């Protein structure tokens, strides 16, 4: 941080939204208001100084103020939106209705996903909603290998801030970076958004392979070829190739495919154990974005004419009843090709 206390608003009190709020409101940090959709949750957080349902064992700092009143965040100098991708549009629309004629809105998305119906990335959703509300939005996306629990406990981490506005990216980077969260700036919004989205589907596949007991050789191959898929899609959507070798690409992919805290990897483990999606999603309030986004990523790939065989197989396993072992067999017996083909 640059030493200047700022007013930060965080829309979304799930695990990652709470972790960001906790981290940014830590010693020497900012004044942070954390919005929860549920008034009951906001009241409980304020009384208990914790969000035990989403981030157990983590105390909320004094500078962090939970609220269910979205109006309380209107004076934010930076607004972070940290909600599931299927709720991003409505939450932003609700916020813009409260202050439709204000100064440009400094918006940072920490949402990893795309809309299933429109296939819009969150930057595109923000542009559409800003235009509809007659409001200018300065947009950036925050992404990278950052588990919520580790970020909240100040484990050294690194991530990327991407914006088409280089000055805004620098302002956000300088404001939000801490001695335990190193931020790098990038102009590649599309690449960073798609890296954070598509890796969740590969992570479910990684969990499935691990659950089947197929070993490290198989997992390494999956991660490597998964990165090829992500890169192909990202480039087709205007992303820069180098982005996918960085924190928002390879870094996030490795973490999510191998880390024990990964909800998407855990989903794959449970699929391998024979559980249905209904059983998996019904047992937790946490959202594994890769479940819903597998369909959206596959549709976007088809629209762009991009081959994504791992993603297609995971859609078949999760949503069409194909067995995981059959999916692996079909991946292994595909037509042979050069590794350098993208």
Residues serving a catalytic function are 199
Question: Alpha-carbon distance 228 to 104, whole Å?
Answer: 37
Nearest partner of 229 among 174, 176, 294, 167, judged by Cα? 294
Name the phi and psi angles at 2, rounded to 5: -85, 5
| Residue 10 φ then ψ, to 5° | -125, 115
How far is residue 315 from each of residues 124, 218, 322, measured CA to CA in Å?
Answer: 24, 19, 9
Residues 6+ apart with CB under 8 A from 35: 9, 10, 11, 12, 13, 42, 67, 68, 69, 70, 72, 73
State phi, psi for 39 to the nearest 5 degrees. -65, -35
Q: Cβ atoms within 10 A of the Cβ of 164, count?
A: 14
- For residue 5, the number of C-alpha atoms closer than 13 Å in the C-beta half-sphere is 10
Handedness of CA 281, 287, 290, 292 (dihedral sign): positive
Q: 10 Å Cβ neighbour count for 221? A: 14
Is 36:64 a contact under the CB 8 Å cutoff?
no
Residue 313 to residue 302: CA distance in whole angstroms: 14
61 within 8 A of 31, measured Cβ to Cβ: no
User: Which token pair is 31?
Assistant: 């004044």
């Amino acid at each position: 941080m640059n030493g200047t206390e700022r007013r930060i608003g965080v829309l979304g009190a799930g695990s990652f939204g709470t972790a960001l709020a906790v981290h940014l409101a830590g010693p020497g940090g900012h004044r942070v208001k954390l919005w929860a959709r549920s008034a009951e949750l906001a009241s409980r957080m304020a009384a208990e100084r914790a969000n035990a349902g989403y981030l157990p064992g983590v105390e909320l700092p004094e500078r962090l103020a939970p609220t269910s009143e979205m109006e309380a965040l209107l004076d934010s100098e930076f607004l972070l939106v940290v909600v599931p991708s299927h709720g991003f549009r409505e939450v932003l629309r609700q916020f813009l209705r409260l202050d439709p004629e204000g100064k440009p809105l400094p918006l940072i998305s920490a949402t990893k996903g795309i809309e299933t119906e429109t296939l819009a990335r969150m930057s595109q959703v923000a542009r559409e909603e800003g235009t509809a509300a007659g409001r200018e939005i300065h947009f950036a996306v925050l992404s990278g290998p950052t588990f919520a629990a580790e970020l909240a406990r100040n484990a050294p981490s690194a991530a990327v801030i991407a914006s088409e506005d280089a000055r805004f990216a620098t302002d956000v980077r300088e404001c939000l970076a801490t001695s335990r969260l190193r931020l790098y700036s990038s102009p590649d919004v599309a690449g960073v958004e798609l890296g954070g989205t598509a890796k969740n589907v590969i992570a479910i596949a990684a969990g499935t392979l691990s659950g089947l007991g197929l070993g490290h050789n198989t997992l390494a191959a999956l991660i490597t070829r998964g990165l090829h898929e992500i890169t192909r899609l990202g480039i087709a959507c205007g992303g820069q190739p180098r982005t996918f070798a960085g924190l928002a690409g390879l870094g996030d992919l490795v973490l999510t495919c191998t880390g024990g805290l990964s909800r998407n990897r855990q989903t794959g483990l449970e699929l391998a154990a024979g559980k249905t999606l209904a059983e998996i999603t019904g047992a937790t309030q946490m959202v594994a974005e890769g479940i819903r986004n597998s369909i959206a990523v596959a549709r976007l790939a088809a629209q762009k004419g991009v081959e994504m065989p791992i993603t297609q197989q995971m859609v078949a396993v999760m949503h069409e009843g194909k067995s995981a072992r059959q999916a692996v067999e079909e991946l292994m017996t595909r037509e042979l090709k050069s590794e350098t083909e993208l």
